[in-house]
Structure 1
């Protein structure tokens, strides 16, 4: 993949580039997707939307399905365990503007896998294929392409990504994203890329590499190892959404792009927070903004102490005023973001919360999810 690579197509849609934002529950809502796109991402998939019809009108699902003012193509990820329900969910989201439907077979969260959704489906290939065929059939009359996000397999001894990806391609899936971990790994250990390379070699449709892509140099390495058509970045974009333009610049020139100025980062974050508050309202918006602020400052001098102080503030205005003042003091000492030489360990999640947990809206502590 280089600046000379031809545009990537998904169905009738030409993507802006080959750098994608990973769908992450509780993170990749509309404001975050729009921020990442402004920072150089060419494609963004929504947070996982349930196939349970009784939850479609819930506030949480309605927020996740909110694409007001968002540039296309509009991609919605759906999750579930029942083929007819998944087909109905695809049709429902298409009626509400989805232009691409993505099937979630990659989420390893216990809450999801205990119900045999997400990556748990990789352990039941007949059911997984029933779901894929049902969704493709439901989307076909609308000429909406279907994509698939998956893992390398259920466990290290059962890596069936190649077999399942080939079957998905035969069923009509038009792009496959592979996270380089098994379901058993969850978010632990290091991603491996040999399985992604094997999937790429076995398919004719585009293959996207995902997992531990956290720098321009790592992006170049993963492309070389996998031959993937595109890259999907998750946790590395949390608090650092300009990683997309950094990767694009490095792949095109071989040179490292300078860090944003402190003023630029401040302006981008504050603009994002205003959009975040607008979507969630003052109370929920203030609470859920804390993780985004924490991600943005945790690798900067004094960032951890500042994050802890931010978590004591109880209004959107207080967050904005305090954030603006903190960045102004930082800008007085540094023109560009002064990342710590040894980045601080990411703060842990609040007790009782889990990565990609559907009920993390009131989580006040930031955590970097591996996606």
Structure 2
């Protein structure tokens, strides 16, 4: 049985607890990263940004590159389909933004990304994947910044890429590879294939991080035991549950902890989240950003439809406070929600949208369409 790791080493970066917050578009901004970091140790990755957007100084892209004052290890996920842009963007992140870790996205299943040959579609082009990884590593190495990558099993069950991607990443000098145990066609549906993660661990010599279906701290330990991963990546499991990182830190320290907050404690967490958003974005925008989190925080609690709708329309911290005091602070955490999926799931896709002729040549760089400078995606 694999030994449960107590920390994670990514090149020059040592992560106190082998847990990484997955970058999620519109979610993992500076406020949410701070909130999660207040709960437990780990590596907290910024929302994904586009390489072209950064190189061309797109305003929306630059607005996303905001870090909390207490964010000691700046980590950013970068998206791109052009080695030149990716290399230049990596140099900018290291030289101008003081980033300590860069993760490259090769796992996004969103159609607007895959139709350009990006995200989870890109590893099919082994030559292009190698060029992008080598460009990023070359740009980051002089700064001592490790580069990692995140990917999926493949485009679909007939076009798997993860083992080749692992080999290419290792040869390019990548510090670690994270594998989401689903194909692009699956998106977020079905179950993650942890056996594929275990096969990748056996296939490469660099650290492998496992991603997919980690809803509780016990799931993270089970993934380590079943696959031998060096650490885990947590995405949807922490939506409305930032205290999951407290449980994860305890679990990897050998403690058995399962935080079951009362509705009053959840309300306090909601207030802290909104407060941090307002500090970083201003009250109007911060409250608007907070609205999307309400349903996740209240999942399984008895708060009625009217209360949920009102909370999803808050426009000031004062209006939020007035509503939160109406919630029953003593209501117990809904145990039925433990271990259940959170966030989007959806259905598998009958067909992954790809550039014309994309599957015809797996070895070359292939033709690809440049990403838009302001494009953002879900990871």
The answer as to whether partners of 1:50 and 1:56 remain within 8 angstroms in 2 is: no
Quote how far apart the aligned CAs of 1:270 are. 1.2
The answer as to whether partners of 1:9 and 1:15 remain within 8 angstroms in 2 is: yes
Cα distance in 2 for partners of 1:166, 1:29 equals: 32
Matched, 1:339 2:334: yes
SS at match of 2:93: helix
What is the CA RMSD across the aligned residues, in angstroms? 2.7
Cα distance in 1 for partners of 2:257, 2:54 equals: 49
SS at match of 2:159: coil
Structure-1 residue corresponding to 2:322:
321
Cα distance in 2 for partners of 1:40, 1:301 equals: 28
Quote how far apart the aligned CAs of 1:305 are. 4.4
Cα distance in 2 for partners of 1:360, 1:286 equals: 21
Quote how far apart the aligned CAs of 1:19 are. 1.4
Quote how far apart the aligned CAs of 1:157 are. 1.7
The answer as to whether partners of 2:220 and 2:248 remain within 8 angstroms in 1 is: yes
Cα distance in 1 for partners of 2:337, 2:10 equals: 39
Quote how far apart the aligned CAs of 1:303 are. 5.7
Structure-2 residue corresponding to 1:288:
289
Structure-2 residue corresponding to 1:76:
76
User: 1:108-153: CA deviations, max 9, x gaps?
Assistant: 1112222222111122111111111111111111121111011111
Structure 2, unmatched stretches of 5+, are: 346-373
Which has the larger displacement, 47-56 or 267-276? Answer: 47-56
SS at match of 2:149: strand
Tell me: CA distance 1:244–1:6, structure 2 relative to 1, closer, same or farther (3 Å).
Answer: closer
- TM (norm. structure 1) is 0.85
Quote how far apart the aligned CAs of 1:2 are. 9.4
SS at match of 1:154: strand
Quote how far apart the aligned CAs of 1:38 are. 1.4
Counting matched residue pairs gives 349
Which has the larger displacement, 218-227 or 24-33? Answer: 218-227
User: 1:347-366: CA deviations, max 9, x gaps?
Assistant: 879xxxxxxxx8899xxxxx
- TM (norm. structure 2) is 0.84
Tell me: CA distance 1:317–1:102, structure 2 relative to 1, closer, same or farther (3 Å).
Answer: same
5 Å-filtered alignment, 1:173-212, equals 173-212=174-213
Matched, 1:163 2:164: yes
Q: 325, 328, 331: which is aligned to 1:330?
A: 328
Cα distance in 2 for partners of 1:346, 1:14 equals: 29
User: 1:138-179: CA deviations, max 9, x gaps?
Assistant: 111112111101111111122221111111111100011000
Quote how far apart the aligned CAs of 1:294 are. 2.2
Which has the larger displacement, 148-157 or 245-254? Answer: 245-254
Cα distance in 2 for partners of 1:296, 1:138 equals: 40
The answer as to whether partners of 1:30 and 1:70 remain within 8 angstroms in 2 is: no
Tell me: CA distance 1:305–1:20, structure 2 relative to 1, closer, same or farther (3 Å).
Answer: farther
Which has the larger displacement, 162-171 or 313-322? Answer: 313-322
5 Å-filtered alignment, 1:238-277, equals 238-253=239-254, 255-277=256-278
Quote how far apart the aligned CAs of 1:89 are. 0.9
Tell me: CA distance 1:317–1:160, structure 2 relative to 1, closer, same or farther (3 Å).
Answer: same
Cα distance in 2 for partners of 1:359, 1:277 equals: 24
Q: Which structure is higher in RCO with an 8 Å CA cutoff and minimum separation 6?
A: 2
Quote how far apart the aligned CAs of 1:315 are. 3.2
5 Å-filtered alignment, 1:131-170, equals 131-170=132-171
Quote how far apart the aligned CAs of 1:321 are. 2.8
The answer as to whether partners of 2:47 and 2:64 remain within 8 angstroms in 1 is: yes
